[in-house]
Structure 1
C-alpha cells in the first residue's frame, strides 16, 4: 500500500535549499545579497498547514540573511497549490514550500514558479530533478497507518494490501483525504490506479465506499481528528483506526508525545 513521493521546494539558507514562487525571484535573490538592489526585510513563505519550522531555525535564517520569514499557511498541500494558481498574477508570497511530485505538474503547467537553481543543486541525484523551477528536498512513503491498541484489543491483524482494505473485517475503519486538496490523498489515489489500472481503480473505490471508507478534506482532519491512534485523534475522540498518512508518522508520534513512550502507538501497514 506504499506509494513514493518526492517533496519539492523549500525555504532558503537556514534549511539548505531554495525555490521561489511566481514573480518574486529577483526580490529574494536581491535580499540574499546577490545584487546591489535594496533588500526587503521580510520574505513571505507560503506552505501547507502542516509546515512547522521551529523558531530557532527561522531565527538562524534571520541571523544569516537579515531577513524575517513570515509563514503563511494556505490549507492542505493541494489546496495551497490551487490558491497559488488562482493568485499567480499577484502572488501571496515570495517562496512556496510543499509541492510534491503528485502536484508538481499542476503547479508547473500553471506557471506559478520561476526558474531558480539553489546552491548545491548539482549534488541532487538526477532521478530527483523533476523541474528546474523547483528544488527537491526529501522523499517519503505514503501509506496506511494503524492504531496498534485497537488492533491488539480486537485481536485483528492490520491490513497488508489494498485488497485487504475492502474486506468486511475492516469495514468503517479507514479514513482518507480528498485527493483534490490533499497530497497524501492524491498519492493514495494514484497508488490504487497503479495497482488496478485504468479499467479497475474505479471499481476498487466502489468497494472501498461500500466498505465504509470516510473521506475528509485534509490530512490534518484525517490524522488529528478522525484517526484514533494520534494524539490529536484521542483529543477529538477519533474512531477510525486506519488512516492514509506517511511512514514517518509513527516516529513523529514518539517525538512529540508527553511523556515519550518507549515505542510508537501507531504502525505502518506494508
Structure 2
C-alpha cells in the first residue's frame, strides 16, 4: 500500500516463486509442513532485520518474502493462483480490494489471539479470514512553505482543489494503476456521491495532473518532496509529513484531514497451504507488539493495535485522522471497474 523508501530484508522474485511452487506443489496439501513460511506481500514490505531475527530465534520459523506488486496486483495474483497458492500467508490486501479476495475464497479462517487488541475495529468478515495489520489513510498533502511564500491561503478540502486560485497545483496518481490514486477517487465518490464525475470535470478544468503512480506524483512532481517538483498539492498519505520532519521536529508539508480516505491493510492464511500452523504463527507475529511497533518507521503506516504508540514526532506532524471517509467494501467491489473506466474517460477527454 505505501510506496515509500524501505529496506527489504528478504525477498525473492515472482518468477522464482512460480518456479519453486511448480516444483514443490505448494498447493498440494499432501506435502509435509515446513519451518519456512512464504509471505506474499506488496512491494512496500519492510521490517527491521532485528525484529525478524528475533521471531526466527523464538519460533524456529523462517519468513521467505515474495513481493508481488502493489495492493491491486497482489490481490489479482492471489486470486489467479488460489488453486495452487504462491505462498502460505499474504499481507497487504487492502480495504479497496479485500472483498474480491474474500469472494474468491483466497483465504482460510483464522482468528489470531492478538485480534482483539485493536485489529477487530477493522473487521470485514465474520469468518475471520482477514485480519487488519495496519492503517494507511490516503490524504491530500500540501507544501506549506509554498503557500506561505506565495501569500495564498492553504486549501483545506476537496472543494478547494477545484478553486481557480489553485489552478495547475494538484498532481494525483492514476486511479487505474495506483492504489492511492484509486483511494483518492473513492474519497471523491464518498464526498460527492452521484456528483463525483462533475467534480472531476472541475478538477480537469483546473489543471489537475495525472501521473502513473505515487512515486512519480510525490517524488518527482510535488514541490514539498526532496526532488522539489513544481506542484504544491499531491495525493499521498496521512503519514507522509513524518518523512519530511526536520531536525527541529517541524515538517514543511501537512496532510489535509478533510480529504482522507481510510485504507486498511490485511493479512490472512492462504487457503490450500500445507503449512497452516506455521502460517498462523507468522500472522500472529504480524500482530505482535514488536512488529506493530516497527511499522510506523519502517513502512510509514499506523499500527492496527490500539496499545502501540506512534513515534513521538508523529503526534505533531502525522496523527492518525479521526474522520476519514470510506465506502462499503461490497459497494467498491461491485462498482470499481465501472468507476475507474468512467474516471479514465473523464481525465483523458
TM-score (norm. length: structure 1): 0.75
Once residues 170 and 153 of structure 1 are traced to their aligned partners in structure 2, the CA distance between those partners, rounded to angstroms, is 14
> For 1:24 and 1:160, how far apart are their aligned partners in 2?
50
Match of 2:210 in 1: 215
Match of 1:150 in 2: 146
SS of 1:252's equivalent in the other structure is helix
Task: Provide the rounded CA distance (Å) in 2 between the counterparts of 1:125 and 1:68.
Answer: 24
Asked which structure has the greater RCO (Cα within 8 Å, sep 6+), the reply is 2
Distance (Å, rounded) in 2 between the aligned partners of 1:212 and 1:88? 42
Shift of 1:133: 0.8
1:265 is the counterpart of 2:261: no
Q: Secondary structure at the match of 2:134?
A: strand
Give yes or no for the alignment of 1:76 onto 2:70: yes
Q: Which runs of 5+ in 2 are unaligned?
A: 2-24, 258-349
Of the candidates 232, 235, 239, which is equivalent to residue 230 of structure 2?
239
* RMSD of equivalent CA atoms: 2.8
**8 Å contact 1:79–1:181 — kept in the other structure?**
no
- What are the ranges of 5 or more consecutive residues in structure 1 without an aligned counterpart? 6-22, 28-36
Partner residue in 2 for 1:34? none
Q: Kindly indicate whether the alpha-carbon contact (under 8 Å) linking 1:76 and 1:219 is maintained by their aligned counterparts in 2.
A: no
The equivalent residue for 1:30 is: none
For this pair of structures, how many residues does the alignment match?
231
Query: Which of 44, 52, 57 is 2:38 aligned to?
Result: 44
Q: Do structure 1's residue 129 and structure 2's residue 123 form an aligned pair?
A: yes
Partner of 1:95: 89
Cα distance in 2, alignment partners of residues 95 and 38 from structure 1: 16
Post-superposition Cα deviations, 1:172-222, rounded to whole Å, max 9, x if no partner, equal 222222333433222221221121112x10111111122222223332332
Does the residue aligned with 1:69 lie in a helix, a strand or coil? strand
1:250 Cα deviation after fit: 0.8
CA gap of 1:89–1:223, structure 2 versus 1, over 3 A, is farther
Normalised TM-score (structure 2): 0.59
Distance 1:90 1:138, change over 3 A: same
SS of the aligned residue for 1:245 comes to: strand
The whole-number CA distance in structure 2 between the counterparts of 1:133 and 1:43 is 18
Match of 2:224 in 1: 229
